[in-house]
Amino acid sequence: MDGTKDKGLLVVSFGTSVNETREKNIDAIERQLAEAFSERRLYRAWTSGMIIRKLKKRDGMQIDTVQEAMERMLADGITELLVQPTHVINGIENDGMTAEIMSYADRFAHIYMGAPLLTSEEDSRAVVSALMEECGPLAADEALVFMGHGTLHYVNPVYAALDYRFKDMGYPNVFVGTVEAYPSFESLVKLVKAYGAKRVILAPFMVVAGDHAVNDMSGPEDSWRERFRAEGFEVECVLKGLGEYEGIRKLYSEHAKAALREQA
């Protein structure tokens, strides 16, 4: 076998049924990782079985589950595996993925595990810099509000910590909230009003600008856009997933490189 053909790179994402945002975000992250690790064969897996089934039925598109990808790589003769998730936090999806992959530990010579986007203090600083490099500068009467997913997992406070990090790095009018946990929309409204903003720019803090961004953030009914408008704010929505920011894509590559260095 060719010397490098036994090395694999598995990129694991939650997934999305919105093809346009998949191409701009998940595909873009995968391309950057493939370029950074050109000596490895690229594989893809998604953790959402519901989205995988939807794409197969709607588009005839086949996406591997984590288990299917692991079996595919074994069949292809992969012995050394580098795994990089595109997950934002070390939450439920990442825990489940890690457990599934490590159940194959005795079938590979080595498995290197890259970290999700927000894992360390350095990550939060890098994320703020990457986002504001493309989102700023803001006017004094504007507030930039990022919508994260949120989780019941104990790691959820990372969203509030990131909100604080923006302010600590000199961005008092940038806020981070979540759809399903804390900081909630109600908390954000109070904070944005206390700042004194007149105009709100909404953007997803999710890898893809998918269902939550289209419906919960910018939809015609009961969305964050409509609720901010009802509170008297002028609102603009930016449907741009995290994978569209160059600095975010680079950070995923850095996490994969760190995994090889630190776990060797």
pLDDT at 212: 86
Residue 155, both tokens = 């790691």
CA gap 50, 57 in Å, rounded: 11
Q: Kindly give, in sequence order, each residue whose CB lies less than 8 Å from that of residue 131, ignoring residues fewer than 6 positions away.
A: 146, 245, 247, 248
Contact 41, 78 (CB under 8 A): yes
Residue 26, amino acid: I
Choosing from 87, 110, 149, 153, the catalytic residue is: 149
- Residue 153 bears catalytic tag: no
pLDDT tens digit at each of 264 positions of the chain: 445 679 999 999 999 999 999 999 999 999 999 999 999 999 999 999 999 999 999 999 999 999 999 999 999 999 999 999 999 999 999 999 999 999 999 999 999 999 999 999 999 999 999 999 999 799 999 999 999 999 889 899 999 999 999 999 999 999 999 999 999 999 999 999 999 999 999 999 999 998 888 899 999 989 999 999 999 999 999 999 999 999 999 999 999 999 999 987
Contact 71, 78 (CB under 8 A): no
Q: What is the pTM of this model?
A: 0.94
